[in-house]
Structure 1
Amino acid sequence: MTAVDTTGAGDCFCGALAQALAIGADLAVAARFAVTAAALSTTGPGARGALPDAAAVEALLRRLPAAEPVG
């Protein structure tokens, strides 16, 4: 995955985090979802056109290694 444009990645992170928390995910799961969504959002041009949908985020999450506890 190559970053093309980081415009809107922070907004994408905030929106994805809020979405995940709103449906009941705990903070660690919601943060992982949000980081993945933000990373995907950088792979296309522009702030709005590159926003991934939940299905794209879930598909990428399935391909990533599981999160490891810190500390």
Structure 2
Amino acid sequence: MSAMREELHLLVDQLPEDRVPPVLALVRENMSSSRRREKALVALERIRGRMRGVTGVDEELDRRREESRG
């Protein structure tokens, strides 16, 4: 286990029992957002891969934006 993980375990062990749940919630929230970010990056790479070689995409998006405004 890395030194930082060991330190985290030691610090959590020193917390009063009622202070552990908020710390765990913070760690879980961070893990969840990290996973979402990873999934979004994977999806973006897939989209980029599918769009390689496609011409006129930017122009089409601009045209559609203009249509929706006016």
Q: What TM-score, normalized to structure 2? A: 0.32
The answer to which structure has the higher helix fraction is 2
Q: What TM-score, normalized to structure 1? A: 0.32
Larger radius of gyration: 2
Compare relative contact order (CA 8 Å, sep 6+) and give the higher one, 1 or 2: 1
